Amino acid sequence: MTGKQDILTWLENHQPDYTEMSDHIWEYAELPWHEFKSSKLQADYLASKGFRITWDLAGINTAFCAEWGSGSPVIGFAGEYDALKGLSQKNQPVQEPLVPGAPGHGCGHNLLGTGCLAATEATKTWLEANHKQGTVRYYGCPAEEGGAAKAFMARAGVFDDLDAAFNFHPGSLNSPTKGSCVGVNHLRFRFHGRAAHAGGSPHLGRSALDAVELMNVGVNYLREHVPEYVRLHYVITHGGDLPNVVPAEAEVWYYIRAYKPEDMEDVTNRVRKIAEGAALMTETRMEECFDNSTAAILNNHTLADLLYENMKVIGPIQFTGEEFAYAQSINDAFPAENVNDYYEELKNKHLPAEVLQILKNAKGQPLIGGNICATDEGMVRTGSTDVGDLSRVTPLSMLYTACHATGAPGHSWANVATGAMSIGHKGMMHAAKIMALSAIDLFSDESILQTARKEFLKATEGVPYRSSMPASVQPPQFHNPERFPE
């Protein structure tokens, strides 16, 4: 019989394989929908380990599922591997791009995907060694950064037969989550007007840029009259070509975020009306392009507690003095208030004494290696992720582990700087161990899974998952040169 300690040892022995994979993906730094090398690297690796590979999930040629075993329960791990524009960074604690203007893993998805893959293979190893029935899957999910691939996958039924799922995200603290985050609609509003010489005959023009600017003014006034947890952001993606030509074409790209589906629908419709009004005022034509949408996360408290119990089995991350110094150099590049004082934030909550002591000891520190129970029950974060759609289909709790310096802002060069060195590697393997042991518990003790499912069914009673994306909205298609050489 192979037990939990055997699996922890197995993961430690195989860490070089996962470190190498993660570092390759860090180097590839591929943008959403273009993770051709990263997805193939992972799929080929899992195929070599006996997993059955299914490509083109939901019609996305960088999305795949690797499956091992048969029968129930079916437990999934959702990985990611997309990078962010303009965040290229050398493997050092001082900001300096590796390639100026190139992408970089500012959200740590090289660690995220590989950590989930490692947990998947470890779970398969345990099932095989103990002759256990069940199915374990790794989902290679592209385009989390604004692409909502998991939402397309959920809409296509890819996750429908899962009994539970795990996911982790690099952060600056080791903790499962019980809170939520908001959903988001991605919409572009294009205005079509009439060009004219801005100096000689401006009266003959109908400015699409005026329509964009009037729309933005209207939305900015709307901000005062929206519910809590609604956020509205935009960028002008095209505003014309020359100052002396009345712009005939202009576009603005909006993120409309909300926690409740009914608020999302209501605010989105109000934004549409503002766009229609801007077109009416400028005598232009408005065209809406609905890119995608994601749902608010539904974290499963049963799974969050299970993750924390296994964190206690594993113990804290042991960071070295050199790693503390590296992280402190990163923190020094940002305002001191970037470092959260978790102890002051949470000392009045009913947390275990040992957790409060960890937080107290961590005040002002550049790295936090201790394990913290979920502290965010009832909290709604105002960021978004397509993991929300997965969580609406099957029980899931997101896990965070310490892969970044405590003062590193999200989506920054500072996160890239720890993504391919020992700090990121330790956080990644910590997550892999926690998720693998928790999956083993689900395969070993049917009652835990039943409790998680019961909680999930109660939370979703009367509100079955339904994607807010129109059926006509499909994921973009790009040629994949790694799988289909020309």
Query: pLDDT tens digit string along 99-143?
Result: 999 999 999 999 999 999 999 999 999 999 999 999 999 999 999
**pLDDT digit string, tens, across residues 7-35:** 999 999 999 999 999 999 999 999 999 99
Class of domain 183-294: alpha beta
> Over the stretch 138-170, which tens digit does the pLDDT of each residue have?
999 999 999 999 999 999 999 999 999 999 999
* Per-chain mean pLDDT for the chain: 96
Q: What is the pLDDT of residue 1?
A: 58
pLDDT band at 348 (very low <50, low <70, confident <90, very high): confident
For position 183, what pLDDT does the model report?
A: 95
- Given a cut of 70, whether residue 372 has pLDDT beyond it is yes
CB 266 within 8 A of CB 468: no
Q: What is the CA radius of gyration of the chain?
A: 24
Q: What is the pLDDT of residue 341?
A: 87
Strand-pairing partners, residue 134, are 70
In the chain, CATH 3.40.630.10 covers 4-179+296-459
pLDDT confidence of residue 463: 85
**Residues 136, 74: Cα–Cα separation, whole Å:** 6
Q: Compute the distance between CA of residue 295 and CA of residue 386 in angstroms, rounded to an integer.
A: 7
Q: Are 255 and 231 in contact (CB under 8 A)?
A: yes
Going by pLDDT thresholds of 50, 70 and 90, the confidence category of residue 331 is: very high
Could you give the residue range(s) of every CATH 3.30.70.360 domain in the chain?
A: 183-294
Question: Comparing 343 with 138, which gets the higher pLDDT?
Answer: 138
* 389 neighbors 76 (Cβ within 8 angstroms): no
pLDDT reported for residue 123: 98
- Of 59-73, 192-206, 346-360, where does mean pLDDT reach its minimum? 346-360
pLDDT in tens, 384-399: 999 999 999 999 999 9
Beta-carbon contacts of residue 164 (< 8 Å; ≥ 6 apart): 73, 75, 76, 300, 303, 394, 395, 396, 442, 449, 452, 453
Residue 486 binned pLDDT confidence (cut-offs 50, 70, 90):
confident
Task: Look up the CATH number of domain 4-179+296-459.
Answer: 3.40.630.10
Distance CA 31, CA 20 (A): 20
Average pLDDT of the segment spanning 428-443: 98
Q: Tell me if 62 sits within 8 A of 140, measured CB to CB.
A: yes
Which has the closest alpha carbon to 449: 438, 459, 460? 438
Question: Which whole number is the average pLDDT over 369-378?
Answer: 95
Residue 190 in this model has a pLDDT that exceeds 80: yes
Percent of the chain with pLDDT over 70: 100
Mean per-residue pLDDT, 209-221: 98
Distance, CA of 216 to chain centre = 28
Q: What is the pLDDT of residue 325?
A: 98
Residue 485: per-residue pLDDT: 87
